[in-house]
């Protein structure tokens, strides 16, 4: 006999990308930033430690909200802090999607959305992208019990984007909120934060895991109209962000010069990676994120993934049922990417 709800028993559970704890891997599988975070982040964490950790943290992360509001040109009460953006996605699903409700996501995209619906005993529907990674009209369809639509933009694993115009039209057409997951938007040519002001159904999430090089700190946030944020607050853990992460994240978002510098380096390496993969015969999807998705017209990709792994290089191999397989390679340093490409070129022979 199990003491666990039957929907949880029936779930497979979300499987995060491999995080090897030993051995020296070049890690290009979970879209982390290859460079260390801004020095000001480390200083802020140290100075918080010096004040010790006896007290509970600020439940709302006020210091972060004030700084982020300045950077994003909204008011602080438009921002909700989370223990990574995964925490924000959990809060939104918990607050908006009940048993038997429907959550929509594109396919292939971020698998966690489906898991979040399963935890709620809710249903999810995956609407396939077209071959060119565009949305179909089905993605805007009105359905009974449809409670939230998740759209990663840029998408993972493709690195492709849906335009701002399409997002506005989609939000107008939908009967429910549209969460635009901008985990990778700092590497893209545009973002949708200001659209939150135009339509209350649009919510945007961001993470400090990728563009701020702080995946280990766990900090993400949501931008939405204040009456929506006020409701979501009720569904979060009381102290969902710890004192060190609030201090570090506040310092990180304050250092926009670091962000711009880092973004430039990552994009330059991404362009090299795209060009060199194409030279090696891969079909490469032009990316607006910090990773590149590629397929191969005539070579199976799993052996390439395994060949890289036995050379201590970890990339992400994906095989989506009804869609096909591909390799998603995170943008590392130039040196890491050169090592990856050099092994790939030998495996290619």
Ligand X SMILES: Cc1ncc(COP(=O)(O)O)c(C=O)c1O
Q: Which residues are at the interface with ligand X (CB under 6 A)?
A: 31, 84-86, 110, 152, 156, 181, 183, 207, 209, 215, 220
Q: Which is nearer to ligand X, 181 or 274 (CB)?
A: 181
Min dist CB 272 to ligand X, Å, is 22
Q: Which residue is associated with the tokens 């506005």? A: 168
Phi then psi dihedrals of residue 135, to 5 deg:
-85, 150
Min dist CB 310 to ligand X, Å, is 25
Min dist CB 336 to ligand X, Å, is 18
Q: Which is nearer to ligand X, 45 or 183 (CB)?
A: 183
Local structure of 45: helix, strand or coil: helix
- Could you give the C-alpha distances from 156 to 185, 256, 283, 295, 330, in angstroms and in order? 11, 24, 17, 14, 11
Task: Report which of 30, 33, 26 is spatially closest to residue 265, judged by C-alpha positions.
Answer: 33
Q: Which is nearer to ligand X, 85 or 294 (CB)?
A: 85
Min dist CB 254 to ligand X, Å, is 19
Local structure of 25: helix, strand or coil: coil
Min dist CB 100 to ligand X, Å, is 25
Q: Which is nearer to ligand X, 120 or 276 (CB)?
A: 120
**212 contacts 187 by C-beta, under 8 angstroms:** no
Q: Which is nearer to ligand X, 57 or 152 (CB)?
A: 152
Q: Which two tokens stand for residue 323?
A: 């869609």
Local structure of 287: helix, strand or coil: coil
Min dist CB 114 to ligand X, Å, is 13
Q: Which is nearer to ligand X, 128 or 143 (CB)?
A: 128
Cis bond upstream, residue 154 (ω within 30):
yes
Region at 101 (left for phi over 0; alpha for psi -120 to 50; beta for the rest):
beta
Min dist CB 181 to ligand X, Å, is 5
3-class SS shares of the chain: helix, strand, coil, % to 5: 40, 20, 40
Min dist CB 296 to ligand X, Å, is 23
Q: Which is nearer to ligand X, 90 or 276 (CB)?
A: 90
d(CA 87, CA 101): 20
d(CA 316, CA 45): 32
Q: Which is nearer to ligand X, 38 or 205 (CB)?
A: 205
3-state secondary structure 114-160: HHHHHHCCCEEEEEECCCCCCCCHHHHCCCCCEEEEEEECCCCCCCC
Q: Which is nearer to ligand X, 33 or 207 (CB)?
A: 207
Which residue intervals of the chain are DSSP H helices?
A: 6-10, 39-50, 62-72, 85-96, 112-119, 164-173, 195-198, 226-233, 243-254, 256-279, 302-310, 334-347
d(CA 88, CA 70): 21
Min dist CB 328 to ligand X, Å, is 10
């Amino acid at each position: 006999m199990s003491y666990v709800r039957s929907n949880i028993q029936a779930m497979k559970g979300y499987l995060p990308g491999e995080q090897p704890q030993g051995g020296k891997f070049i890690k290009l599988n979970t879209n982390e930033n290859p460079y260390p975070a801004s020095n000001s982040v480390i200083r802020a964490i140290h100075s918080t430690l010096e004040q010790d950790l006896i007290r509970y943290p600020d439940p709302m992360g006020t210091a972060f909200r004030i700084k982020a509001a300045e950077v994003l040109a909204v008011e602080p009460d438009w921002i909700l802090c989370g223990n990574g953006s995964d925490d924000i996605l959990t809060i939104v699903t918990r607050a908006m999607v009940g048993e038997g409700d429907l959550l929509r996501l594109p396919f292939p995209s971020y698998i966690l959305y489906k898991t979040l619906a399963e935890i709620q005993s809710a249903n999810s529907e995956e609407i396939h992208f077209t071959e060119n990674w565009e949305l179909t009209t089905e993605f805007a369809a009105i359905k009974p019990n449809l409670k939230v639509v998740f759209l990663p933009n840029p998408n993972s694993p493709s690195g492709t984007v849906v335009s701002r115009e399409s997002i506005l039209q989609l939000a107008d057409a939908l009967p429910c909120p549209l969460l635009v997951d901008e985990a990778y938007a700092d590497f893209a040519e545009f973002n949708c934060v200001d659209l939150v002001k135009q339509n209350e159904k649009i919510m945007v999430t961001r993470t400090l895991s990728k563009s701020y090089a702080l995946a280990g700190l766990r900090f993400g946030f949501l931008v939405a109209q204040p009456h929506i944020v006020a409701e979501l607050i009720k569904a979060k853990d009381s102290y969902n962000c710890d004192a060190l992460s609030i201090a570090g994240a506040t310092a990180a978002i304050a250092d926009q010069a670091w962000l711009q510098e880092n973004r430039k380096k990552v994009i330059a390496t991404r362009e090299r990676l795209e060009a060199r993969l194409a030279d090696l015969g891969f079909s490469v999807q032009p990316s607006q994120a910090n990773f590149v998705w590629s397929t191969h017209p005539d070579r199976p990709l799993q052996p390439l993934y395994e060949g890289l792994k036995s050379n201590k290089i970890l990339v992400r191999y994906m095989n989506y049922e009804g869609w096909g397989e591909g390799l998603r390679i995170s943008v590392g340093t130039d040196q890491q990417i050169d090592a990856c490409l050099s092994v790939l070129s030998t495996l290619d022979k």
